[in-house]
Amino acid sequence: MTTHQDPETALRHWRAAAAEPDSLLIDGFHALKHTLRFGGELRAVVTGDPAGLAELAGRLAPDVAERVLAAAVPVPAEALRTLVPRPHPTGVAALAVRPDPRAQLERLRALPRSAPVVVLDNPRNLGNIGAVVRLAAGFGATGVVTTGDADPWHPGAVRAGAGLHYATAVARLTAATLPPGPRFVLDPEGEDIRSVRLPDDALLVFGSERHGVSAELRAGADGLLAIPMRPQVSSFNLATSVGMGLFHWMSHAPSAGR
């Protein structure tokens, strides 16, 4: 474990880095390892449990363990609690550089695409947004776009996504500026999704947890698709629905994301 900074210096450095407008809180070991694996740039790393961090890094992420331990500065656990609103049980937090939004948009809009873009229409729950980003990264989707007020790069969403925002493209856009591609809206009144083969350049649009897909996005859809569900069950969780939609796509593209 590096000791290139004493705790007081590390805390001052953290607070200065946190004031940068493009700094992003990376909360917990799993988010930190994914940030490093997928090219994230770190500004500061602190830990209230150096021994625990070394054990986790060696056991769960030997590919990035050296970089984790070289960057992490031990600080008292009580000091860590002053930096992070809800410290992660793994006792480590970092500040990373949020990716350039223009580069994210270029990735989302580039054609041809080899995997769909997931569109979340006005999602309200940051945990659901993060869970969807995690799914998109795992399935090799091109990225995740949200509409509405919620920032998909909010630290709560990044925490729920385990830092996998860096493994895909994530952006907030308006309905009028979505990436190109055929638009398939998931809707209970739509055609059974099992009867449709989703193209690689599809936009898969999912509605908000409460209100569903907006009339604007429904009106421009190339197709309405329904995920089969037992009668009298009102709905699936948003992330569950996205996972089923992406699995259906992947089942016809076995090499996707591999």
Convert the pLDDT of each residue in 9-53 to its tens digit: 989 999 999 999 999 999 999 999 999 999 999 999 999 999 999
pLDDT at 256: 52
How much is the mean pLDDT over the chain?
A: 92
Report CA torsion sign: 197, 198, 199, 200: negative
pLDDT at 94: 97
Provide the percentage of residues in the chain whose pLDDT is more than 70: 96
Going by pLDDT thresholds of 50, 70 and 90, the confidence category of residue 3 is: very low
Q: What angle do CA 21, 118, 158 make, to 5 degrees?
A: 35
Two structure tokens written together for 228? 């089969």
As given in the structure block, the two tokens for residue 148 are 């509405």
User: What pLDDT shows up at residue 1?
Assistant: 38
Contact 100, 127 (CB under 8 A): no
Which H helix or E strand runs over 37? helix 29-37
E strand or H helix at 50:
helix 50-60
Supply the pLDDT for residue 249: 97
